[in-house]
Amino acid sequence: MQRRYDERLHLMESGVNPYPCQFDVTTFSTDIIEAFRDEEQTPVSVAGRIMTIRKMGKASFFHMQDSKGRIQIYLKKDEVGDAAYSTFKLLDIGDIVGVEGYSFRTKTGEISVHALHFELLSKSLRPIPVAKEKEVEGQKVVYDAFSDKELRYRQRYVDLIVNPEVRDTFIKRSAIVTFMRGFFTGKGWLEVETPILQPIYGGAAARPFTTHHNALDMQLYLRIANELYLKRLIVGGFDGVFEFAKDFRNEGIDRFHNPEFTQVELYVAYKDYNWMMELVEELLYRTALGVNGTHTTSFLGNEISLEPPFRRLTIVDAIKDYCNIDVSGKNESELRSAAKDLGLELDPKIGAGKIIDEIFGEFVEPKLIQPTFITDYPTEMSPLAKEHRSKPGFVERFELIAGGKELCNSFSELNDPVIQRERLEAQAKLRLRGDEEAMVVDEDFLRALEYGMPPCAGLGIGIDRMVMLITGQESIRDVIFFPHLKPE
RNA sequence: GAGAAUAUAGCUCAGUCGGUAGAGCAUCUGCCUUUUAAGCAGAGGGUCGAAGGUUCGAGUCCUUCUAUUCUCACCA
- pLDDT digit string (tens) for A13-53? 888 899 999 999 999 999 999 999 888 888 999 999 999 99
Question: Nucleotide B40: nearest residue by CA–C1'?
Answer: A56
Q: What global pTM score does this model have?
A: 0.93
| pLDDT, position A41 | 84
In angstroms, the CA of A53 and the C1' of B36 are apart by 9
Query: Nearest nt (C1') to A126 (CA)?
Result: B10
Please give the nucleotide, over all strands, whose C1' is closest to the CA of residue A136: B37
List pLDDT tens digits, range A396-450: 999 999 988 899 999 999 999 999 999 999 988 888 877 778 888 999 999 999 9
pLDDT score of A380: 85
- In angstroms, the CA of A480 and the C1' of B46 are apart by 34
Spacing of C-alpha A46 from chain mean position: 31
C-alpha A432/C-alpha A62 separation (Å) is 67
pLDDT of residue A423: 93
Other C-beta atoms lying within 10 Å of the C-beta of residue A71:
26
Supply the pLDDT for residue A141. Answer: 79
Q: Which nucleotide is nearest to A483 (CA to C1')?
A: B68
Query: Which nucleotide is closest to the Cα of A130 by its C1'?
Result: B11
Q: What is the pLDDT of residues A69-79, one digit of tens each?
A: 999 999 999 99
A359-386 as b/e: b if 16+ CB within 10 A: bbeebbbeebbebbbbbbbbbbbbbbbb
Query: Taking the CB of residue A271, how many other CB atoms lie within 10 A of it?
Result: 21
Per-residue pLDDT reduced to its tens digit, A217-260? 999 999 999 999 999 999 999 999 999 999 999 888 888 999 99
Q: Is the pLDDT of residue A283 over 70?
A: yes
Report the distance from CA of residue A61 to the C1' of nucleotide B33 in Å, as an integer.
11
Mean pLDDT of chain A: 91
Which residue gives the smallest C-alpha to C1' distance to B71? A254
User: Which nucleotide in the DNA or RNA is closest to residue A207, CA to C1'?
Assistant: B75
Strands laid side by side in the A397-402 sheet: A190-191, A240-248, A260-269, A456-462, A405-412, A397-402, A372-375, A311-314
d(CA A302, CA A424): 40
Phi, psi angle pair for A76, to nearest 5°? -115, 140
Taking the C-alpha atoms of residue A83 and residue A81, their distance in angstroms, rounded to an integer, is 6
State yes or no: pLDDT of A134 exceeds 90: no
Residue count (chain A): 488
Confidence category of residue A145, pLDDT binned at 50, 70, 90: confident
Secondary structure of residue A31 in the 3-state scheme: helix
* Euclidean distance between the first and the last CA atom of chain A, given in angstroms as a whole number: 21
Nucleotides of B under 7 A from a protein CB: 1, 10-13, 24-28, 31-39, 66-76
Q: How many CA atoms are closer than 13 Å to the CA of A244, on its beta-carbon side? A: 13
Q: A215 burial class (0-12, 13-18, 19+ CB within 10 angstroms)?
A: exposed
Per-residue confidence band for A181, with pLDDT thresholds at 50, 70 and 90: very high
Amino acid at A282: E
B13 C1' – A194 CA distance, angstroms? Answer: 50
Cβ atoms A72, A65 nearer than 8 A: no
Instruction: Note whether A238 and A255 are within 8 A (CB).
Output: no
Q: How far is the CA of A486 from the C1' of B58 (A)?
A: 31
Q: Stated in angstroms, how far is A144 CA from B14 C1'?
A: 14
Q: Which letter does DSSP use for residue A386 in this model?
A: P
- pLDDT value at position A304? 92
Give the separation between CA A205 and CA A194, rounded to whole angstroms. Answer: 19
Nearest nucleotide to the CA of A204, by C1', is: B76
Distance CA A427, CA A378 (A): 15
Distance A149 CA to B9 C1' (A): 19
* 8 Å CB contact between A222 and A248: yes
Q: How far is the CA of A436 from the C1' of B51 (A)?
A: 39
